[in-house]
Amino acid sequence: MANNVDDSPDALCTIGEGDCVVLKRGDIFKAAQIQKNRKVIFEKQWFFLDNAVGELYGTAFEVASGGTLQPKKPKITESITEVREAGTDNRNIVDDGTSQKLTRDDIETLKGQGLKGQDIVQQLVENSSSFRDKTEFAQEKYIKKKKKKYENTVTILKPSTRILAQMYHGREPGKICHLRYDSLAQMLTLGNIHAGSKVIVFETCAGLVLGAVMERMGGHGSVIQMYPGGGPVRAATDSFGFPKHFLHTLHDFPLCKVQPLLAGRLSPDAQEPDAPPQPNPEGRSQESGGGDSTVERMESEMERETDDREKRREDKAQERKMKNEEKRKKQLAVAALLQPRNADGLVIASRLHPCPVLLALLKFMAPSRPFVVYSQYREPLIECYTKLREQGGTINLQLTETWLRHYQVLPNRTHPVLLMSGGGGYILSGTTVMAGPPKPTPPQSAEEPSPKRIKLQEADG
Amino acid sequence: MSFVEYAEFIQDGDVAIIFMSHDSMFPVKVQQGGQTQTRYGVIRHSTDLIGRRFGSKVTCSKGGWVYVLHPTPELWTLNLPHRTQILYTTDIANITMMLELKPGSVVCESGTGSGSLSHAILRTIAPSGHLYTVEFHQQRAEKATEEFGEHKVGHLVTVLNQDVCKDGFGVTGVADAVFLDIPSPWEAIGHAKAAMKRRGGRVCSFSPCIEQVQRTCAALAEQDFGEICTLEVLLRVLDVRAVSLALPDLGKEDEGGLPATPNATVTCRTAMPPREMAGHTGYLTFATKGPV
């Protein structure tokens, strides 16, 4: 069979300069970009990513002194786990706060000597008077806890929806409307997002949902991002590190021009209101690579103070004019893409009220296509549901929520993880159908027609 | 039509989903001259289906009507002929994302079962990916192969009739992801590892019982898989309805109070959880194979 396609180390699996990556320590993630001589701060540690270049994705690194990364040797033999002596219960363990013989200063000194995390843990174990009396399980837990604190292992991963969705949910849930990753998974599946289709996306989730859709489309087909305000937000999208050709399939269109477009009054010459930067927290668009932005901001401030302000301003005016022209052209192209009203999918996830957006954007869709709407709250989706039932043109409506539960699976210690997420938002999904032929929008609402209603409708038509 | 590509019009040979209501739909094989009986009367394929747009309303002989929908893996999951227990969309969605499936992914799966997950995988990995699916039950393997052909996804999938625990997936070093839904997944972890690319990949095992999960996790740890993680996802379907609450009669106030209207009610729209819901399908255990 097809055993020949073994992947030789290629650009896909080795870390390269300029790559968008995700750093992982324990369950904590952080998006970063590989840049030479650039300090990265992650989990109270700083280091340089230079040494990661050329290594394989998925490699674990140890942070050495001076912030350099060293690939960790796989399977370090665990000296700690050898020769175990353990108690059976805790009846004689007294919490007098003196069981650890090492003081905080001692530990700092050990760290200062550049001792490896593993050795510090060993020291802590040896100097704990109660360790030997702990049960085997308690010992394991103790070591695990200390390892987490003192071992500085950082794994470098290739970004994916799985990782970025978990990262955003863990670090900045407010920026993605508290969209939990299992809810995002539902959206992609219920929306039947796949290569070759034409999908409309409206989101205010920092570009995470957009990125997830793009990943599933693999650069085949087209994605039209509708954006509110001055421009689309794509901080999270950029963190995926998509190849350039993916961007050819990505289009955007301002939400404020949807009604004119639907009414056939979209005037291409109308002056674009000079796009002000968005006031919202995730407002930085396009160029933000997910890394920290203070450096860039400082640079731009310094630039502003230079003498040749005038010239710069002129150049900028010229540049802006060109950009506006280009923007208008692009907008016309996107309008042409929307106009046939044959989109294959619609994905909405925003902090705005979904109802007006949904009702308007559904008009761009072909019949027999799925759509999904996410909201952090269920009430707006109840309204959407009601309106859709009233106006018709959609079937198979379903308002759902998913619950996610993680498990600790260990010998004799298997149970649900103590803390679980309280809410991952709500999803309304459905399928478009052709509006009844006799009238543009016949007022049919029920999914299951009773004989009576049929007669009524027939009389109508 | 195909399960991996939308079409506008219904053609001879297509699969279409006849939608009567949320809990009443079924698939039909569209055939020139074919007929399908529904409770609203007969649907004549040549006149009622072929050449019509997917999403059309079709009037049946007794005057009732149905919608004809383009097939999707999700609709197929709700309508497929069961040959085994199947995976449903909620679990499938999480499996797809957590296995990081996308166009071009090469996936190994066992068992094929009724092909519910297989169709969803094929949709996601098309047009350039491939699915190697292993089913030890000969009849089921044959039936699945036949279905993949009918659904025009046969070029994306290889069905192998063998025991994955004994004989593996029939491929080595090619998979980005492996999925196991078999009674003893721990016996197939070694084969899963062998099937995966050198650069690594993701694996998932679905098991209804916690004892199965424990043995699987032990096997994964032994085979050096990392990021071992077990989770469970439950779907709550909410029923949107208007409920009316009767206002209590607190009696008349002595002076100036409005007369209490008997039988007054307030109506509010709400979303109700069902009285009963699916409480468990299976545990999903995920892990990562690191690069070697």
Which tens digits make up the pLDDT trace of A83-125?
A: 568 888 888 888 888 888 888 888 888 877 777 777 888 878 8
Q: Please determine, for residue A254, whether its predicted confidence score (pLDDT) is greater than 90.
A: yes
- Enumerate the β-bridge partners of residue B206: B284
pTM of the model: 0.87
Say what the pLDDT of residue A296 is: 52
Residue B117 assigned to a binding site: yes
Which DSSP category does A48 fall into? E
Share of chain B above pLDDT 90, in %: 87
- Enumerate the β-bridge partners of residue A428: A373, A399
Say what the pLDDT of residue A438 is: 42
Say what the pLDDT of residue A146 is: 81
Say what the pLDDT of residue A306 is: 60
Task: Note whether A173 contacts B: Cβ–Cβ < 8 A.
Answer: no
Q: Please determine, for residue B191, whether its predicted confidence score (pLDDT) is greater than 50.
A: yes
* A213/B32 Cα distance (integer angstroms): 37
- Per-residue pLDDT, averaged over A217-246, amounts to 96
Say what the pLDDT of residue B238 is: 96
Say what the pLDDT of residue A3 is: 46
- Structure tokens given for A240: 């995926």
The answer to whether the CB of B121 falls within 8 A of the CB of B98 is no
Tens of pLDDT along A192-213?
999 999 999 999 999 999 999 9
- Per-residue pLDDT, averaged over B149-176, amounts to 97
In chain A, what residues touch B72 (CB-CB under 8 Å)? Answer: 192, 370
- Structure tokens given for A103: 């003081």
Residue A218's pLDDT band (boundaries 50, 70, 90)? Answer: very high
Say what the pLDDT of residue A291 is: 43
What distances in angstroms separate CA B17 from CA A219, A436, B149, one per listed residue?
29, 18, 18
* B193/A427 Cα distance (integer angstroms): 36
User: CB–CB of A219 and B218 under 8 A?
Assistant: no
**Which one is predicted more confidently, B274 or A266?**
B274
Q: What's the CA dihedral at A400, A359, A179, A290 to 10 degrees? A: 160
**Which one is predicted more confidently, A1 or A368?**
A368
What ipTM was assigned to the predicted interfaces of this complex?
Answer: 0.96
Report how far Cα A229 is from the mean position of its chain's Cα atoms.
21
Q: Please determine, for residue B184, whether its predicted confidence score (pLDDT) is greater than 80.
A: yes
Which residue of B4, B57, B104 is in closest CB contact with A194? B4
Which residue of A382, A405, A449 is in closest CB contact with B269? A382
Task: Note whether A395 contacts B: Cβ–Cβ < 8 A.
Answer: yes
Say what the pLDDT of residue A302 is: 58
Q: Please determine, for residue B99, whether its predicted confidence score (pLDDT) is greater than 90.
A: yes
When the pLDDT of each residue in chain B is averaged and rounded to a whole number, the result is 94
Window 51-110 of B, Cβ < 8 Å to A: 53-57, 63-65, 67-70, 72-74, 89-90, 92-94, 96-98, 100, 102-104, 106
Q: What's the CA dihedral at A239, A244, A245, A251 to 10 degrees? A: 60
Share of chain A above pLDDT 70, in %: 80
In sequence order, which residues have a C-beta less than 8 Å from that of residue B248 and are 6 or more positions away?
none
- Per-residue pLDDT, averaged over A225-235, amounts to 95
- Structure tokens given for A226: 């509708």
Say what the pLDDT of residue A398 is: 97
When the pLDDT of each residue in chain A is averaged and rounded to a whole number, the result is 83
In chain A, what residues touch B230 (CB-CB under 8 Å)? Answer: 406-407, 409
Tens of pLDDT along A399-457?
999 999 999 999 999 999 988 788 899 999 999 999 864 443 344 444 444 444 444 44
Residue A150's pLDDT band (boundaries 50, 70, 90)? Answer: confident
